[in-house]
Amino acid sequence: MNEPLAERIRPKTLEDYISQQHLVGKKGYLTQHIKQGIIPSMILWGPPGIGKTTLATIIATESKRPFYTLSAINSGVKDIRDVINKAKQSGGLFTTKNPILFIDEIHRFSKSQQDSLLGAVEKGWITLIGATTENPSFEVIPALLSRCQVYILNSFEEDDLIALLHRAIEKDSFLSKKDITLKETDTLLRLSGGDARKLLNIFELLVSSEEKVTITNDFVMERVQKNMARYDKTGEQHYDIISAFIKSIRGSDPNAAVYWLARMIEGGEDAKFIARRLLILASEDIGNANPTALILANNTFQAVTTIGFPESRIILSQCVIYLANSPKSNASYEAIGKAQELVRQTGDLSIPLHLRNAPTKLMKDLDYGKDYKYAHSYENNFVKQEFMPNDISTTKLYEPGNNARENTFREFLKKRWKKYKY
C-alpha cells in the first residue's frame, strides 16, 4: 500500500476533524463562516502536523468552491500567476463561490511572491488560505496580512492523539484487519512530538508487518528506527533541532551550538528564523549578564535579513559562538514572569497618588502627583519613595543573577532598597 496512513485516514468533513473546536466546533468561527457561505482570506498558524492542509481542503469541500494548492517550497511567481489565471476563469468576482488558493508554508514566500497575491485577493479572484508554522506578523507582508484573518491552531492534546490512533485502528481498511492493542502510548506520543502526521507514520511502521501487536513503551523503543542525522525541511524535526540548538547555547557549548546551526543551514532553514531565535535567547538566557549580547543578536538579524545565504552562515556562526561564550542570566525572564503572575493574582491595584499624572487642575486638586520626589534633585539621583502599589510594596520580583555585572546590580540595590532584602 503506497499511500501513507496519514493520507488514508485524513478527515473529509468538519465533524471528523479532531481538535480545534474554537474553529470547527458547532459555534466555531470557521463553522459559522461556512454556514453563512462567506469564507474570508485567512492564515492558519500552528505547529506542524496539526491539520492545516486538511482544514483548508475541508473548507473548500464544504463551501463547494474550486480548490487550488501551491507549496511555497517549490513555487515561484509564475506558478502563482498561472493558478490565479485558472482561478479567475473558474469563479466570479466577489461571489460566494470564489476559488480558494491554498499556499502551504506561506512564510517561505519572498516579498515579491507575496506581493503577486495582493491584486488577486483585493479583486476577489481568489480566497487565500495560507498555512504557516511561523508567526505571520513577522513572515507575511503587512499589506497581505491586513487582508487576512489569522486563526491559531493549537497543539494536539494527548486525548486528541490517542483518538487519532483509535481512528486508524478502527477506520483504516488495512489496519482494521489486524489485531492491535494500545496498552501503553507514552513513548509513542513522546516520539511524535505532538505531530499527528509523525505519530501516524511511526504507528504504521510499528504495525505494518505484524498481524497481532500490543503497543507498549518498550516495544516502541525497540522497533522505531530514527535517523537523527536528517533535518526534515517539512517540519517534523524542526522543533527538536531548534531545541537542541538553543539548549547548547544556553549550556555554553559553542561546539554543539555550531553543529546544530550547521544542521539547520544544511537542511535549508530560513536564516531569519535562526536569527530571531538568537534574539530571544540573548535576552532570555543572557540578559543583563552581558547586555551587548542583545545588541549583537539584533545586528545579526538585520545583517542576515539584508544579505541572505550563503554569506549569512558566517554572521550566524559568529553570533552563536559569542552567545555561547557569554555569561548567562535568566533574571529578567524570571522577573517579568513573576510580575505577570502577580498582576493576574492581584488585579488592578490602586496606583499611589504621588505617581499619578496630573495634567488638569481637577487632578491636582485630587492630590494626583502630590509629594512626588524628582530623583534628579537628590544626591546620587536617588531618593527613597514608594513606587509599588501599597498592597505589594515589599514584593521582590527581580533577583540579580550570579555574574559579574549583575552582582554590581545587587550591591547597587542593597544600598538603596533595604525593604527588598537583596
Cβ atoms within 10 Å of 197's Cβ, excluding its own: 23
d(CA 5, CA 350): 58
**Residue range 238-324, CATH number:** 1.20.272.10
- Per-residue model confidence as pLDDT tens digits over 24-67: 888 888 888 888 878 889 999 988 888 899 999 999 888 888 88
Q: Where are the domains of the chain?
A: 20-152, 158-223, 238-324, 350-420
Q: Which of 65-74, 231-240, 310-319 has the lowest mean pLDDT?
A: 231-240
Is the model more confident about 227 or about 90?
90
pLDDT at 335 exceeding the cut of 80:
yes
158-223 and 20-152 share a CATH fold: no
d(CA 356, CA 364): 10
Q: What is the predicted pLDDT for the residue at 275?
A: 93
Whose cell is 512530538? That residue is: 193
Assigned CATH topology for domain 158-223: Helicase, Ruva Protein; domain 3 (1.10.8)
- CA-atom Rg of the chain in angstroms: 27
Q: What percent of the chain has pLDDT over 70?
A: 94
The mean pLDDT value for 333-347 works out to 88
Q: What is the predicted pLDDT for the residue at 231?
A: 47
Q: What is the predicted pLDDT for the residue at 91?
A: 56
267, 284, 402 from 337: Cα distances, Å? 34, 11, 19
Instruction: Write out the E strands in 200-346.
Output: 212-215
d(CA 77, CA 59): 25
d(CA 83, CA 88): 9
Q: Residue 397 — pLDDT band, cuts 50, 70, 90?
A: confident
Q: What is the predicted pLDDT for the residue at 321?
A: 93
- Within 8 A by CB and 6+ apart from 255, the residues are none
- Per-residue model confidence as pLDDT tens digits over 239-256: 778 888 999 999 888 888
Assigned CATH topology for domain 20-152: Rossmann fold (3.40.50)
Q: By the 8 A CB rule, do 124 and 97 touch?
A: no
Q: By the 8 A CB rule, do 419 and 394 touch?
A: yes
Q: Residue 95 — pLDDT band, cuts 50, 70, 90?
A: very low
- Per-residue model confidence as pLDDT tens digits over 149-164: 899 988 888 888 999 8
Q: What is the predicted pLDDT for the residue at 320?
A: 93
Q: What single-letter amino acid sits at 408? A: T
pTM above 0.85, yes or no: no
81, 292, 301 from 70: Cα distances, Å? 11, 42, 29
The mean pLDDT value for 277-303 works out to 94
d(CA 404, CA 184): 49
Average pLDDT of the chain to the nearest whole number:
84
Check the CA dihedral 284-286-289-290 and report its sign.
Answer: negative
The mean pLDDT value for 264-287 works out to 88
User: Nearest to residue 203, comparing CAs of 231, 167, 235, 177?
Assistant: 167
Q: What is the predicted pLDDT for the residue at 230?
A: 45
pLDDT at 229 exceeding the cut of 70:
no
- Per-residue model confidence as pLDDT tens digits over 295-330: 999 999 999 988 877 888 999 999 999 999 999 999
Q: What are phi and psi of 144, to 5 degrees?
A: -75, -40
Q: Residue 238 — pLDDT band, cuts 50, 70, 90?
A: low
Helix axes 254-266, 271-281, angle to 10 degrees: 150
199, 214, 216, 293, 416 from 206: Cα distances, Å? 11, 10, 11, 46, 64
- Per-residue model confidence as pLDDT tens digits over 15-25: 888 888 888 88
**Strand 67-71 vs strand 212-215: parallel, antiparallel, or unpaired?**
unpaired
pLDDT at 227 exceeding the cut of 50:
no
User: Nearest to residue 319, comparing CAs of 277, 372, 367, 359?
Assistant: 277
Whose cell is 488495512? That residue is: 174
d(CA 323, CA 404): 16
- Within 8 A by CB and 6+ apart from 321, the residues are 254, 257, 258
CA angle (390 as vertex; 384, 396 as ends), nearest 5 = 70
The mean pLDDT value for 381-401 works out to 85
Q: Residue 363 — pLDDT band, cuts 50, 70, 90?
A: low
pLDDT at 190 exceeding the cut of 90:
no
